[in-house]
């Protein structure tokens, strides 16, 4: 835990619902991340946040970024804490709270936490949640389950980033269950099945068929925005073959289906070979679905105009990804089905022995994370579907192929 005396300029420009940064001397040697107590006037405590070093800005100067602010609406002074500390650590606390930035010693930190637990229990609970954000527990998954959960996590993060939900807008993820899907780590915001059935059956087809495989559902709200996420899967994690994501964007009445594919390391490159046991049936189902829905009959308007008619996208991801504590998305290539078919028909994807392979070296046209998010977020890609029977068929085929499927719905109330 660190203590920071922050300048008035930052206080005046601070948006309490966002984040802020400050530059400190490397001499302070603070840990790379942790919890910070913020003071703006050398007297009153203003907020408690998580912090992280985010880069060197000059010689011996580090930038630290503060997020997940807990605002202390009730006035708490440095003196309030000091008088509650034992005589042995008072002088250390006083010295450590006088400089711009100071790392609180172990004993001082324990005394400060004791103060909050006894005098400000609500704030103490918030501090524990901040600690969970920093030290969120990752279950001991098997290698196969770890890969599936990493893809599920990436799918969830993609949805958050598409709709501008920041880390501070989402409750802490924490799980001790190594057999549960990633969504179950948000157990404190789990919603019941009844409202899911009443509402989500309207956008995900015949919910009575799908609900028997539901593994978890959570709803996240931010002002008038709401994201509902559901995981459906009939297999344990270690037996799950892949991850799919189906997103519905209410504003544009748009559906996007993403299928994750694993790239493996071969020599000096990560490569995907379209030869896995389920690939042929997956492509056939996608092609059949696109032939079934009559997109040409839809009259273009400002809401449903798209760059193309593709509903299906592949995301190719290197196999090195882990279920780490980082919220960074997995780097990868997004490829719409039409471009995918063109690539596989082109000589550029021929391997040295005649087989087909896709890599970052030979697949030179694709969307990266930021490009895909921008296009999907603003309704430039995705399809409108009027026949929910067809949609249910796609959802059930994903479940029956033993994939983990995340259903995501975004709306503005």
Q: Are 252 and 304 in contact (CB under 8 A)?
A: yes
Give burial (CB, 10 Å; 0-12/13-18/19+) of 246: buried
Q: What pLDDT does residue 271 have?
A: 93
Sign of CA pseudo-dihedral 121, 127, 131, 133 = positive
Give burial (CB, 10 Å; 0-12/13-18/19+) of 104: buried
State the pLDDT confidence band at 195, using cuts at 50, 70 and 90.
low
CA distances from 401 to 243, 280, 310, 404, 405 (A): 10, 12, 22, 9, 10
State the pLDDT confidence band at 194, using cuts at 50, 70 and 90.
low
Distance CA 230, CA 249 (A): 15
Sign of CA pseudo-dihedral 363, 366, 370, 376 = negative
Q: What pLDDT does residue 336 have?
A: 95
Q: What pLDDT does residue 371 have?
A: 96
Q: What is the pLDDT of residues 138-192, one digit of tens each?
A: 777 787 888 888 899 999 999 999 999 887 778 778 777 777 888 878 755 555 5
Q: Tell whether pTM > 0.75.
A: no
Question: What mean pLDDT is reported for the chain?
Answer: 83
State the pLDDT confidence band at 265, using cuts at 50, 70 and 90.
confident
Q: What pLDDT does residue 16 have?
A: 47
Q: What is the pLDDT of residues 94-136, one digit of tens each?
A: 888 888 888 999 999 999 999 999 998 888 988 888 887 777 7
Q: Are 185 and 371 in contact (CB under 8 A)?
A: no
Ordered by start, the domain boundaries in the chain are 2-135, 143-412
Question: Given a cut of 90, is residue 334 above it in pLDDT?
Answer: yes
- Report the pLDDT averaged over residues 364-381: 94
State the pLDDT confidence band at 11, using cuts at 50, 70 and 90.
low
Please give the sequence-ordered ranges of beta strands (E in DSSP) within 337-383, or none if there are none: 358-359
């Amino acid at each position: 835990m660190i203590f920071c005396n922050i300048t008035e300029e930052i206080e005046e420009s601070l948006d309490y619902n966002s984040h802020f940064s400050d530059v400190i001397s490397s001499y302070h040697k603070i840990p790379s991340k942790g919890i910070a107590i913020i003071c703006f006037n050398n007297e009153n405590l203003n907020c408690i946040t998580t912090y992280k070093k985010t880069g060197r800005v000059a010689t011996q100067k580090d930038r630290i970024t503060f997020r997940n602010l807990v605002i202390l609406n009730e006035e708490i002074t440095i003196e309030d804490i000091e008088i509650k500390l034992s005589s042995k650590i008072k002088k250390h606390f006083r010295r450590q709270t006088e400089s711009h930035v100071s790392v609180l010693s172990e004993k001082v930190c324990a005394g400060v936490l004791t103060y909050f637990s006894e005098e400000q229990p609500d704030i103490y609970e918030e501090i524990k949640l901040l600690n969970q954000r920093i030290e969120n527990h990752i279950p001991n998954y098997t290698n196969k389950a770890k890969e599936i959960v990493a893809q599920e996590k990436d799918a969830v993060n993609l949805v958050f980033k598409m709709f501008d939900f920041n880390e501070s807008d989402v409750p802490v993820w924490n799980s001790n269950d190594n057999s549960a899907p990633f969504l179950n780590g948000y157990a404190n915001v789990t919603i019941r099945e009844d409202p899911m059935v009443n509402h989500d059956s309207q956008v995900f087809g015949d919910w009575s068929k799908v609900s028997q495989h539901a593994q978890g559902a959570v709803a996240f709200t931010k002002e008038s925005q709401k994201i509902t996420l559901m995981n459906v899967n009939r297999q344990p994690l270690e037996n799950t073959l892949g991850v799919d994501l189906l997103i519905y964007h209410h504003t544009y009445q748009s559906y996007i289906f993403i299928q994750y594919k694993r790239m493996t390391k071969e020599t000096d490159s990560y490569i995907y070979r379209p030869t896995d046991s389920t690939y042929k049936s997956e492509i056939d189902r996608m092609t059949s679905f696109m032939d079934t829905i009559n997109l040409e009959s839809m009259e273009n308007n400002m809401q449903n105009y798209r760059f193309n008619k593709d509903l299906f996208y592949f995301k190719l991801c290197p196999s090195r990804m882990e279920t780490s504590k980082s919220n960074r998305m997995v780097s990868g290539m997004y490829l719409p089905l039409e471009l995918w078919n063109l690539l596989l028909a082109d000589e550029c994807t021929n391997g040295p022995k005649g087989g087909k392979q896709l890599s970052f070296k030979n697949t030179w046209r694709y969307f990266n994370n930021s490009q895909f998010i921008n296009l999907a977020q603003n309704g430039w890609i995705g399809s409108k579907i009027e026949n929910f029977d067809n949609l249910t068929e796609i959802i059930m085929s994903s479940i029956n192929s033993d994939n983990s499927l995340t259903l995501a719905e975004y709306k503005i109330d």
